[in-house]
């Protein structure tokens, strides 16, 4: 028996996706992203939750710069590399970019007129189970809560509740623990529809490993060599001196900064500790001389 046509047709749905979202799986397929390292435990947890029949929505909780968004990328890479069970094979992992959805809208009804067809289109396709699931990712998801008065998107989460209740939407949200407690837990109807995954801050050895797995793309971009001892020095110095941010983000940014300084100076070869020290000092707001040795 043939299925009835979708209320939100492909002719309407696909252009909405192209205009207002970012397809992580499509970008992963082109090799756009750096490899995601050391997150197999969290990715296994995410996969398990997505396979469930009812409460298959995920809330990633961690501090800024720890790697919540990297888990979106990691899951997309697992899907593309066929490292997921058959039920998730070929899934589309798509970020709802609220800034794009809201851009140019003159009223709340304009914003909802863009978002509702996206939600409904994904939900009705997922409900048929005749094609790979569409999984939406939402960074800074607390901004969609009614309690978050500073956001023009506050209250949007209410539009998702009917689809979440029916089990036809897959949502992966990301926010910090503090913002989750302040803005999500006060809305129990949303809170209970998500399963939480606490994303740990990488320690120094794990961060070194992350940089080692990312350095190939930096070497290709800058045309220089990045030896292991450079990754070790950057990570240890960033961990010690850049106190207001978390790893791996602060070490990755410091690596990028150090490479840019070396290229700007006209020096070639392997990444020199002088440029590492200058980058760390600039990021930490201290004198580079304090880092020598």
Assess if residue 5 is contained within a domain: no
* Residue 243 belongs to domain with CATH number: 1.10.8.60
CA nearest neighbour of 254 among 270, 221, 232: 232
**Residue 94 and residue 163 in one domain:** yes
Q: Do 171 and 122 touch, CB atoms closer than 8 A?
A: no
If one counts the domains in the chain, the total is 2
Asked if 280 contacts 234 with a C-beta cutoff of 8 angstroms, the reply is yes
Question: Of 198, 224, 247, which marks where a domain is finished?
Answer: 198
Residue 243 lies in a domain: yes
Specify if 210 maps to a domain. Answer: yes
Within this chain, do residues 53 and 192 fall inside the same structural domain, yes or no? yes
Look up the domain containing 118 and give its range: 10-198
Digitized pLDDT (tens) for each residue of the chain, 293 residues in all: 455 678 889 999 999 999 999 999 999 999 999 999 889 999 999 999 999 988 899 999 998 889 888 999 999 999 999 999 999 999 999 999 888 888 777 778 888 888 999 999 999 999 988 889 999 999 999 999 988 888 888 888 988 988 888 889 999 999 999 999 999 999 998 999 999 999 999 999 999 999 999 999 999 999 999 999 999 999 999 999 998 899 999 999 999 999 999 999 999 999 999 999 999 999 998 887 777 65
Whether 54 and 161 map to the same domain: the answer is: yes
Angle at 92 between CA 88 and CA 97, to 5 degrees: 135
Q: In whole angstroms, how far apart are CA 223 and each of 94, 152, 269?
A: 32, 43, 8
- Round to whole Å and give the CA distance between 156 and 136: 14
Residue 43 tokens, joined = 């990715």
Is residue 217 located within the same domain as residue 193?
A: no
Q: Which of 97, 96, 67 is closest to 251 using CA atoms?
A: 67
Rounded Cα distance between 237 and 233, Å, is 6
Position 151 scores a pLDDT of 85
291 in any annotated domain = no
Give the pLDDT confidence of 124-149 residue by residue, as tens digits: 999 988 889 999 999 999 999 988 88
CATH number at residue 159: 3.40.50.300
> How far apart, in whole angstroms, are the C-alpha atoms of residue 222 and residue 144?
39
Clarify whether residues 224 and 169 are in a common domain: no
For 107-118, b where at least 16 C-beta lie within 10 A, e where not — what string?
eeeebbebbebb
Which of 182, 198, 214 is where one domain is finished? 198
Task: Please give the Cα distance from 139 to 151 (Å, whole number).
Answer: 14
Distances (CA, A) of 9 to 20, 96, 164: 17, 19, 21
- For the CA atoms of the chain, what is the radius of gyration? 21
Is there a single domain that holds both residue 182 and residue 237? no
Q: Model confidence over 146-202: pLDDT tens digits?
A: 888 888 888 889 889 888 888 899 999 999 999 999 999 999 989 999 999 999 999
Domain identity same for 266 and 121 = no
Q: Which of 174, 198, 222 is the last residue of a domain?
A: 198
């Amino acid at each position: 028996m043939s299925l009835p046509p979708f209320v939100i047709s492909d002719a309407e749905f696909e252009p909405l996706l192209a205009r207002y979202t970012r397809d992580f799986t499509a970008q992963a397929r082109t090799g756009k992203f750096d490899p995601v390292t050391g997150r197999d435990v969290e990715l296994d947890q995410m996969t398990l939750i997505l396979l469930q029949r009812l409460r298959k929505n995920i809330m990633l909780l961690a501090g800024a710069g720890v790697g919540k968004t990297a888990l979106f990328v990691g899951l997309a890479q697992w899907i593309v590399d066929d490292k997921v069970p058959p039920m998730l094979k070929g899934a589309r992992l798509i970020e709802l970019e609220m800034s794009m959805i809201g851009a140019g809208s003159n009223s709340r009804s304009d914003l909802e007129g863009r978002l509702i067809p996206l939600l409904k289109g994904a939900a009705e396709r997922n409900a048929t189970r005749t094609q790979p699931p569409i999984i939406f990712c939402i960074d800074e998801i607390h901004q969609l809560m009614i309690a978050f008065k500073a956001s023009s998107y506050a209250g949007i989460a209410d539009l998702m509740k009917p689809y979440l209740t029916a089990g036809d939407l897959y949502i992966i949200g990301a926010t910090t623990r503090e913002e989750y407690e302040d803005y999500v837990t006060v809305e129990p109807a949303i809170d209970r529809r998500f399963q939480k995954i606490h994303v740990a801050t990488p320690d120094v050895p794990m961060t070194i490993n992350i940089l080692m797995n990312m350095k190939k793309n930096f070497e290709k971009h800058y045309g220089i060599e990045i030896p292991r001892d450079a990754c070790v020095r950057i990570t240890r110095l960033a961990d010690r001196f850049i106190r207001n941010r978390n790893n791996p983000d602060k070490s990755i940014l410091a690596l990028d900064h150090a490479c840019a300084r070396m290229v700007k100076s006209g020096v070639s070869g392997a990444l020199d500790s002088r440029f590492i020290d200058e980058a760390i000092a600039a990021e930490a707001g201290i004198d580079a001389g304090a880092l020598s040795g």
